[in-house]
Amino acid sequence: MAASDKPAKASWPDVERRKAERRRDAERRSAKGHTPKEERRAVTRRTGGERRDESGWQTVSLEDTLEMTFDPADGLFAAATAARRFAQARYSNFQVGSALETVDGLIVTGCNIENATYGLTLCAERVALVKALSEGHTVFTRIAVVADTETLTPPCGSCRQLLWEYCGDVEVLLSNLQGNTAHYRLSALLPLPFDARLL
């Protein structure tokens, strides 16, 4: 850069004028209720330990299930249970199997696939959905989820979102290895969805 191209150094009166303008701006913001920057910096930030503990969360009851209008022995649970055996859950040991039924009656299965970062873990429901979509299936009627838990395990939030996007208000069937079952509409598990209607 040539010496003539360098920006001119601000003169003393210009510097003072800018300082005065900043002070006036700060006074106007303060009059409108804005917190001065110095005070904002001084505020102690919350840490993870100060967040609400488990007792502060309001749980959502999953007791009100739909009336059982299906035969638990119709094959969907069996397929999900079989898929569960292939789960790659070496970190959590929490094995989940899922079976997604297409409108033609075809069953596509999935199991959870974990990895060391945890964040890239794929749930059984998403594995089944992605397999089905990648094979050209686009209309689905039901999905079953099976886990070895006393309390039945519903799809997580991410799975509910993707199921809503690609399956609509499908039936969600839950079971454990003891044979306990529950039956929901996806809209009951995701009552206020964000979807293409809002875009």
Cα 188 versus chain centre, distance:
16
Give the contacts of 189 (CB within 8 A, at least 6 positions apart).
62, 154, 155, 160, 172
Q: Which two tokens stand for residue 117?
A: 């970062």
Q: How far apart are CA 190 and CA 175, in angstroms?
A: 19
Q: Which are the catalytic amino acids?
A: 125
Q: Which two tokens stand for residue 47?
A: 């840490």
Element (H, E) at 79: helix 76-84
Cβ-contact 84, 149 below 8 angstroms? no
Residue that has been written with the tokens 């700060």 in this structure: 26
Sequential DSSP letters for 150-181: SS-----HHHHHHHHHHH-S-EEEEEETT--E
